[in-house]
Amino acid sequence: MNETLLAILEEVTGADVRDDLDLDLYEEGILDSFGTVQLLVEIDGQLGIQVPVSDFEREDWRTPNKIIATVGSLA
């Protein structure tokens, strides 16, 4: 699942973040609110994991490692 998430992240952002899984995606301008919505849609579409927007906490989605952990907890 981790590789799929990284591939989705690359597809949505156009950035390969595999070299720094603790990179702050928002601070670096790699991910914004529109990209976040796209990311959530792709996670649902490709992995069948729905992320309730009401439960979305930006802090949990800041880095690739945090995305992997958050989606893993929903799987």
Q: How confident is the model at residue 5 (pLDDT cuts 50, 70, 90)?
A: very high
Q: Is 40:53 a contact under the CB 8 Å cutoff?
A: yes
Q: What is the pLDDT of residues 13-26, one digit of tens each?
A: 999 999 999 999 99
The Cα 65–Cα 73 span in angstroms is 12
Asked if pLDDT for residue 10 goes beyond 80, the answer is yes
Q: What is the pLDDT of residues 34-75, one digit of tens each?
A: 999 999 999 999 999 998 877 788 899 999 999 999 999 988
The Cα 49–Cα 22 span in angstroms is 22
Q: What does the pLDDT read at residue 52?
A: 81
CA atoms within 13 A on the CB side of 8: 24
Q: What does the pLDDT read at residue 59?
A: 92
**Superfamily of the domain at 2-74:** ACP-like (1.10.1200.10)
Contacts of residue 17, Cβ cutoff 8 Å, sequence gap at least 6: 6, 9, 10, 23, 25, 30, 64
